[in-house]
Amino acid sequence: MSAFDCVIVGGGIVGAALADVLSAEGVSVALVEARSIGTGTTACGMGHLVAMDDNAAELALTAWSVALWRELADGLPRTVEYDACGTLWLAADDEEMAAVSAKVANYRAAGVRAEVLDSAALYEAEPALAPGLVGALRVPEDAVLYPPVAARTFALRAQARGARLMTGCQVRELRPGGVMLANGELLTARHVVLAAGVASPLLCPGLPISPRKGHLLITRRGAPVVHHQLVELGYLKSAHGTDGASVAFNAQPRVTGQLLLGSSRQPGDGTREVDAKLLERMLKRAALFLPGLDGLQALRVWTGLRPATPDGLPLLGPHPEKPWLWLACGHEGLGITTATGSARLVADQLLGRASVIDARPYSPARFLSASGHEVAHA
Amino acid sequence: MREVCDLVVVGAGPGGLAAACRAAEAGLDVLVLDAQPEPGGQVWRGEARQGSNRLARRWLTRFSASGARFRPGARVIAAPEPGVLLVEEGPSSFAVRYGRAVLATGARERFLPFPGWTLPGVLGVSGLQVLVKDGLPIRGKRVVLAGTGPLLLAAAATIHSHGGEVLYIAEQASAASHWGFALQLWRQPAKLLQGALMSAKLVSVPTSTDAWVTAAEGERRLEAVRLSVRGREEHLHCDYLGAAYGLVPNLEVARLLSCETSAGAVVVDDRLETRVPKVHAVGELLGIGGVDQALVTGELAGLVAAEQPVPLELERSWHRVRTFAAQLARHDAPRAELLRLATPDTLLCRCEDVPMSALEGCQNLREARLYARLGMGACQGRTCGTAAQTLFGWTGEDVRPPCLPARIGSLRIPSDVSSTPTRES
């Protein structure tokens, strides 16, 4: 007899959201976190809830997840800072502006509201932007929130329904029928879910997840006002298109009156130190879009490690060789956005139900053969 | 813009000045950075102009003649790579490439929250002293001082000499601890003299050990304080309250440079070198020890940096001042009652308006930061982080750049400083 129906290893936003969903379904859950809920990669990101259309699978998961967040928003405490500010994808030239129409069609097909802003409309919406931009794609239902408190809210809701919250609790080994803790205690469970982000391969060797480091900077309160999450369309080229370190302009208004600035990507970098040279490139890039940036007061710079997979999609579903093990990891920079959808997808599979979206594109089997070895990714 | 030097000294208090003098006199190119407009640090604040303290005058004169370069108003904000500091100076910024560094960043007061502690008119003990030295009109104002150790008497002396009326001095330490400490001063003749001189001017001021502030009261600003004095309550109307409980080292720059710390002090070897090669720490960073420790360790570090022999007498002095520092730490440790004064609605973090009640359920400093915004504001947890450590035993997190709020432009590295070329995006 197992102590729990399900043990979730990893109390980031994904594990916490899953604990929330499963406990609401009456599943008995333990959520095991090595440190504190929502304080790892979850606490390092921007908290941008964004529909992304790099490919159909990404769009399906992000669009559904953003909609799920919207449904949840009214029930979240004020301290989650949910703010439906929308996203503006900024077009710096005619080539980027041409891409906007295709993206609008993509978004609308997926049920996501989207509209084109010409240059005049863009500057009316965001007068602080540097002159010379051609226009923008506006996705009004995107939002931002404060991820660590969102994760904690999920975990506390689960706890209120009887889930066991175990923080400061290191896991030594995942095994059929449960997990062995570092202190020697065995937690028995029918299902084990691995939702440990960048740490997942430590507990399940062979997972195709590697750290992709990012930098963020936050200003003091009273920064110049921007009204949307601002992202350069070139972000798609610079952030996803190369194997080397890259930067892109990404700025977010916080409800505190602070400005949160990104972004950088360093594939394969698992260190936590601020890389001054990459920060320099990131700030230089940002200053092109927001003039006067150099005069703002910076409060903190920090880094975070995104758990990246080779195709940019998370691993959601059963491990092909270990029927007792479920994966909910590898979300790279979209863990906050897709926490809601990821939790539903994994919960549906665990409970043997159909999901609103097709779960197959996120199946771990695309990388892991039934023999348990990593398969070459085409 | 950039500076290159053999030795950079961060902080121009007694420790920094002594290090700079010794190193510059031995021929090193020394650059001294300090956030204040004049050398002397907090303890010798204003001495560069007034010169009433003979020891301060001697060192400041020696410093002027040493050949060390001084950059006032210079705040270290980041350490982008080994051997480089980024410094903000007024509206501009510059980078320093150094061979060795001496960190002499001194200490700040430890604030503990009590009801009313954020009212205007409530300051630190030394904080109030500094404001008075800098010209705060104090003549005829009624002042209560509460805290611990020699700083109380020093502040009282300053306020008294500027015409302020010190109504009460509340020393939190127990009588046994306090008089034990005073007796130990016999081994420190200079300190005894200093203490006696200070006390002489203040003979008429009511003073008590086992005494502390329980609340500050007032509508818009401070009007009165409640004191606990040996178990009974006192209520005093006053204009200013100086309340703080000893000093804690300013570890931000040391931690920015990845220097190891232990028990709230920087770990150094017998050459005062930290675990980071070529970076030394002196003075209060080694544990609160006052001017004597700062001077002795500063001289030592300056000599080591310049590869000069260390006189035996200096070695002996160091051991003596370390003993004093250990006694001070025991004396200044806040008593348990002080940790229970705050009520649920008392603010712990005044930058982000975080009351004690917001910390419910938080297990450590990271949770308090992330769930309740403790220490996420402009002072970056300098005040509330120390208080949280004292109240809950939570130890500090890594320091992230900038270690003081700074213009974004100041975080950009001048291209002529980078050791490797920057690749353009």
Cβ contact A284–B425 (<8 Å): yes
Give the closest residue to A357 by CA, choosing from A338, A370, A329, A375: A338
Of B369, B225, B262, nearest to A302 (Cα)?
Answer: B369
Q: Which secondary structure element, helix H or strand E, spans residue A160, and what is its range? A: helix A147-160
At B421 the pLDDT is 39
Mean pLDDT of B88-115: 96
- Give yes or no for residue A59 having a pLDDT over 80: yes
Query: What pLDDT is stored for residue B293 in this prediction?
Result: 94
The stretch B169-181 carries a mean pLDDT of: 77
CB contact under 8 A, B370 and A148: yes
Chain A: closest CA distance from residue B80 (Å): 5
Tokens 């020393």 map to which residue? B171
Predicted confidence at residue B179, as pLDDT, reads: 60
Express the helix, strand and coil content of chain A in percent, nearest 5 each.
Answer: 35, 30, 40
For chain A, state the CA radius of gyration: 20
ipTM for this prediction = 0.92
Give residue ranges of A with CB < 8 Å to any B CB: 35-36, 38-39, 43, 79, 148-149, 152, 167-168, 217, 219-221, 238, 246-247, 274, 276-277, 279-281, 283-285, 287, 293-302
- What's the pLDDT score for residue A371? 58
E strands of B104-206, at which residues? 107-109, 122-123, 142-147, 165-171
Amino acid at position B294, single letter: A
* Interchain proximity A301–B401, CB inside 8 Å: yes
The Cα B58–Cα A209 span in angstroms is 63
Nearest CA to CA, how far is A50 from chain B (Å)?
A: 22
Strands A115-118 and A135-139: antiparallel
The confidence score (pLDDT) of residue B189 equals 44
Phi, psi of B78, deg, nearest 5: -155, 160
Do A219 and B408 lie within an 8 Å CB cutoff? yes
**Nearest by CB: A277 against B406, B408, B422:** B422
Encoded amino acid at B156, one letter:
A
pLDDT single digits (tens) A261-291: 999 999 989 999 999 999 999 999 999 999 9
Measured over all CA atoms, what is the biggest interatomic distance in chain A, rounded to whole angstroms?
A: 66
Q: How far is B266 from chain A (nearest CA, A)?
A: 20
Give the pLDDT confidence of B321-365 residue by residue, as tens digits. 888 888 777 777 899 999 999 999 999 999 999 999 999 999 999
pLDDT of the residue at A369: 74
What is the pLDDT, as a whole number, of residue B153? Answer: 87
Q: Which neighbouring-strand residues pair with A210?
A: A308
Any A CB within 8 A of B415 CB: no
Question: Across chain B, what does the average pLDDT equal?
Answer: 90
Nearest residue on chain B to A303, alpha-carbon basis? B400
pTM more than 0.90: yes
**Interchain proximity B408–A280, CB inside 8 Å:** no
Searching chain A, which residue's CA lies closest to the CA of residue B362?
A36
Report the pLDDT averaged over residues B186-206: 58
Average pLDDT over chain A reads 93
A297, closest residue in chain B (CA to CA): B407
What pLDDT, on a 0 to 100 scale, did the predictor assign at position B175?
Answer: 78
Tokens for B179, please give them: 């008089």
pLDDT, tens digit, 9 for 90 and up, residues B33-73 = 999 999 999 989 888 887 778 999 999 999 999 999 999 99
